[in-house]
Each structure stands twice: as structure tokens, then as C-alpha cells.
Structure 1
Amino acid sequence: MPRLPHLIAFILTPQTVMLDVTGPLQAFHEARDPATGTPLYRTILASSHGGPIMTDTGIALDTVALADLDPGEIDTLIAAGSDEMLDALGDANLIGWLEKYRAQIPRIGSVCIGAFILGAAGMLDNRACVTHWRWCDRLQAMFPQSRVAPDPIFVRDGPVWTSAGVTTGIDMAVAMIEQDLGRDAALAVARSLIVFIRRPGGQSQFSLPLEHQANDSTGRFDDLHGWITQNLQTRLAVEDLAEQTGMSPRNFSRTYKSATGLSPARAVELMRLEAARTALEQTDKRISQIALNCGFGDDERMRRCFVKHLGVAPTEYRQRFSTND
């Protein structure tokens, strides 16, 4: 993208989530020439027919009509999420415009369930993507040719970027700035916003133990989850977990999966992974020691787990995302 300033166009639909727009927009606004202070991005808000678009906060944002945009001038197009996203998919003018002009736009992204707009325009076909974790199954079901990854906070697959939701749109924007202008520019923006320069695209968009608690709406297994996190270095077989709950192994396995959506073995694996990620980010412990502390047994088993769920090995994860000085 040789032009400066780069033009970023946001697509808004009724009941757009305000932070899905203003978070990334602020990041792009902060990117300036260090010598002159000149803005390095221009931003514009657009909608199907233009005019005020009411956001989820009750505040309206003025937009221009898609028909008034020159697709050839847009460097990046970002679809924001909305509380009425599924209704927006019936907007033939919006989807038709995207289908017609998407090939002319070098980079296209989405924040949160704005990914559904990209899916409706065929942009997620045969691509890896992400949305808010509560909507991942729905996105995969509606657009079966996409490859939805439920964990990452943002995903880049060629020219198409998708982010998990809300504040992850800022992470995606900072990563785009780094792609366009280099690490120093992205670092300056990150410092200005007081965020990490690159919270990992492969980093989980939610705390795994917290996800278990959210799925288990009755809180029946809260104590068990706490006990697991304190005993990760032990075996943690189904029999061990069942004993903690006073249930038979068979009844426990059935009840646990019904309550959390995960088998006990998978839950333990993910909680080991969560603990290992935290240790890699926040400590300087040896990887072999972290593997033992988290119950993987050895660093090769931990490496396979990281590659399986996050797409990176523990060594690379630490190099990129450690916050330990």
C-alpha cells in the first residue's frame, strides 16, 4: 500500500458496537509521522445508504453511503460488529457492494461478529477466521467453507483479517499498523494506548478456566476447577476428578460434559495449556520446568499441545509474547 496516508474505511450497520469502531479507529488515529506529527491514516465511516447509524450505546455516528466511496482508494476495509448483525446480512445493497468491489481492496478485516458480513460476501471461503467465542459455532455453521478457529484473538489469512471482538479490534489494528509502517510505529501507538504492541494473534481470547465457569451456569464445578488449577502437576485422571466431586467416574464424565461442553480430559488439557501460557508470558522459568509444573510430563508433550491449539511452539510463544523483563 504505497499511498500515505492510508485510507481505512469502517462499515457500520444498525446497532453497531461502538467500541468495535472507536477502538481500532483510535489506534489508527495515533499513528503519526514522528518528525512532523502528520497523520499516517485517514478514516471514514460508511454504511449501506449513509446517514446516522445508531450504535449500541444510543449514540449515532454519521456515515457516508457505500455508493459514494471509491473502492480503488480504500487501503483497508473493516466491518464492525453489531447487536443486530444477523439482520444486516439481509441487506442486499451492502452484501452486493462487498461482492462487487472486494477484489479492489488490498486488505479487508472485521471486528467481533462483523465476520458474518465477510462470510455473507464469500470472503471467508477456504480461509481461517475468528469471531467472538460465543458466536464461533454459529459462524462455522452458516459459512461451512470457512475454517473458524475459536481461540485466537485475531487471525490473518492472506488479505483477510478477523478479530475476536471488542478490544481485540485494537490488537488487530496495531498489527495492521506494524505491517504497514513497521514495528517502531506500532510500538509508538501501543505505548500511546497503553496496550501490548502485539498481544498474540494466537493468544486465547478468553481464560479457559473462566470459560468453563461461564458454560457451567450453575457453578457446580467451580470448586473442582479451582482444585485442578492447584494440582496440575498431578495425574488428574477421570477417576481423580470424580473422587473430588463424590461421583462415580462414569456419572461424572457424563455430567461434566453436559455442564461445560468439554470432556474432563480435554478440560484438563486446556487448563494445563492456560497455565503454561501464563508461565511463559510472566516468568523466566525453563520450558522443561514449566512442562513439569503444568503436568505435561516433558517439554515435547507440551510442545505438541501448543502447536495443536495455538499453532506455535512454546519457545516461539515466549519470544513473541513474554511480558517478563
Structure 2
Amino acid sequence: MQRRVLIAVFPGFQLLDMAGPADVFSTADLFLAGDGYRVEVGALRAGPVAAHNGITVNAAALGEVTGPIDTLLVAGGLSMPEQLTGGELAGAVTRLAGAARRVASVCNGAFLLAEAGLLDHRRATTHWLAADELSRRYEHVEVDADPLYIEDGNVWTSAGVLSGVDLALAMVARDHGHDLARDVARGLVVYLHRPGGQSQFSTPMGAMTPRSEPLRELQAYIDANPAADLSVPALAARAGMSERHFSRVFTEQTGLPPGRYVERSRADTARRLLEVTGHPLATVARESGLGTPETLYRVFHRHWRISPGDHRRRFRAKES
């Protein structure tokens, strides 16, 4: 029997918050030959609802939705502050949550769950830009701005925009097993495994994007090839610049000297390997470009004040 997924939207919602999870669930339904999920979209008023980018979707009236719901998912969007006034949408979410097996939000959709009281005394996440405001406004919510998504009881929350895809894949894995979630991810050509405890933040997000296209390509090369020769002479040659000029321009356009950027990128790769693989530390050090477990330990401690082994243990404890 199909699981009913109701996605609540509003004028000015973020289209990807709805479309990403909707495509995950509908693709899973294709693999399950129509015995997986049925996706519906609802809003306060029936009819076309315009997303922030101007694209419209047709929605049913939330007040007319009846019957059991498997998953109630609330989208986010830049117009969220307007949706919190008056309490009408939060009231609709409260009513529907009572008929749902689980409730979820994408991005700052968490504000509507909090306004409805559904996050009280729960751990929750949202887009990192909105986390401080969520914590300030709702003192009974334990806000954690770092993870991609969090499951606390039957309430799930996720970080910004495309983390809704990770959230939906995790739900598919929970409902039908990891093999199906993997097949869906492959079908959608998205990352196969981004666990909820993985950080929203990464080295590319912590550095500026270069204005120069060759330097943007070089930045992408560094992040994709951590075990390559990423010394200043090698990178300068790849960029077609002298070492001195390359170091000056790279620092100016990214905000980080080349050596520091490379170390942070390798440290970030090592952290992901510790989170999603069971590789021994020697393998993690080699594949991340850090070389030896001793270097891995020094770099990890310098960036996060924790040992690689402790990070892996804490991450897995958080995931479980």
C-alpha cells in the first residue's frame, strides 16, 4: 500500500524544498511499481501557489485534507516570517501532524514546526543562516546548526534546501531498506550516502569562490583530488602562473593561502571518510592526502580539537 506524503507549501516557498523530496519519493515509487509513495501538495488555499522563483504548483487546501498521513513535510522559504503571523498555517500543521506517522521540515520550515509546538524539547536543525534565530525565538527547542538532518522521535528536520533530498533518502532507507535508497540515489544521480550527522559545512563553503575561472577550476580540482600533488609548485604550474603570483592571487581571491586551503580540504575529506567508511586510520590518511596517521591526528586536532578516532565514535553515537 502506498504511503501518503503531504508537502505543505506557501507563497514564496523554496521550490527545491518541495521538489527534491517529492522526486525522491516518486522515484522510490517507480522502483516499487506503484507500491511505495503517493506525493500530494497542500497550502492554505487550493489552487496555484508561486514559489520564490516564480514557478507555480497546484495545491490542495490543507483544511480539506482528511484521513491518515504517513509523512507530513513542511517546506521552507524566504517568505517564512510572513507565514508565522496570524497562526493559520501553524494551526493547519498542528492539526495534520496529529494524523501523521511522522512530521518533517526542510530548511527554515522548522520554524513552522516550532510555531506549532512540535519541536518543544526536541533536537532540531535548520539552515545554518537561520539557526540562531530559531534558537532565540523558540527557547524550548534544542537547535543544532551542524547536521544535515536530525531525527528525534517521529519528528525530522533538515538543513538548507538540497539537504531535503538527504532527508527523504534516509526516510526511504528507513521504510524500505538501504538498497532501495541507493537505487533511488543512483537514479537521481545524487550522492549515495550523506548521513544526517555529517556537517552542513565544508571547506569550499568556508572559503570564497575565486573570480577567475581558472582558479575556480583549480579549487574544484583540489577538493576532488586530495591525494594528488597539491604543492604550491604543482598548483602554480597547473594554473599557468609563477609560484609567487599564484600564491598572491589565490590568497586574494579565496581568502586562504594555498597551503592552508589544501590542508583544510584534506582535513574535510578525512572527516567524511571517518564518518561514512570503516577504513582504518592509515587508509583514511592516505586517501585524504594527509599521508600518515600521525599527520592525520595533528591536522584533525588542529582543526577540531579532537582525535580522528574520537570523532568517528562521537559521530556514530550521534547517528544512532
Matched, 1:15 2:12: yes
Say which of 248, 264, 268 aligns to 1:274.
Answer: 268
Does the 8 Å contact 1:7/1:43 carry over to 2?
Answer: yes
Give distance in 1, aligned partners of 2:268 and 2:124: 21
TM-score of the superposed pair, with normalisation by structure 2: 0.73
Question: Following TM superposition, by how much is the alpha carbon of 1:33 offset from its aligned partner in structure 2, in angstroms?
Answer: 6.4
Q: Which residue matches 1:294? A: 296
Matched, 1:312 2:316: yes
Aligned residues with identical type, % of pairs: 33
Does the 8 Å contact 2:104/2:156 carry over to 1?
Answer: yes
Matched letter for residue 316 of structure 2: V
Q: Which residue matches 1:303? A: 309
- 1:29-68 residue pairs with structure 2 within 5 A? 29-32=26-29, 34=31, 37-68=33-64
Q: Which residue matches 1:104? A: 99
- 1:137-148 residue pairs with structure 2 within 5 A? 137-148=132-143
Equivalent residue pairs, number: 267
Q: Which residue matches 2:290? A: none
TM-score of the superposed pair, with normalisation by structure 1: 0.72
Where 1:75 maps in the other structure, the secondary structure is strand
Say which of 119, 123, 126 aligns to 1:124.
Answer: 119
Question: Following TM superposition, by how much is the alpha carbon of 1:296 offset from its aligned partner in structure 2, in angstroms?
Answer: 3.2
Say which of 158, 162, 185 aligns to 1:163.
Answer: 158
| Unaligned residue ranges in structure 1 (runs of 5+) | 233-270, 321-325
Q: Which residue matches 1:79? A: 74
Question: Following TM superposition, by how much is the alpha carbon of 1:197 offset from its aligned partner in structure 2, in angstroms?
Answer: 3.6
Give distance in 2, aligned partners of 1:8 and 1:76: 5
Provide, for residues 163-215 of structure 1, a one-character-per-residue CA deviation record: whole Å limited to 9, x for no partner. Answer: 1121111111111111111222222211211123431111111214633559x
Matched letter for residue 227 of structure 1: G
Change in CA separation of 1:231 and 1:195 when aligned onto 2, cut-off 3 Å:
closer
Question: Following TM superposition, by how much is the alpha carbon of 1:11 offset from its aligned partner in structure 2, in angstroms?
Answer: 0.4
| Unaligned residue ranges in structure 2 (runs of 5+) | 210-250, 286-292
Where 2:38 maps in the other structure, the secondary structure is strand
Change in CA separation of 1:272 and 1:120 when aligned onto 2, cut-off 3 Å:
farther
Matched, 1:90 2:85: yes
Matched letter for residue 49 of structure 2: I
Give distance in 1, aligned partners of 2:17 and 2:93: 19
Change in CA separation of 1:87 and 1:277 when aligned onto 2, cut-off 3 Å:
same
Q: Which residue matches 1:69? A: 65
Change in CA separation of 1:6 and 1:212 when aligned onto 2, cut-off 3 Å:
same
Does the 8 Å contact 2:14/2:51 carry over to 1?
Answer: yes
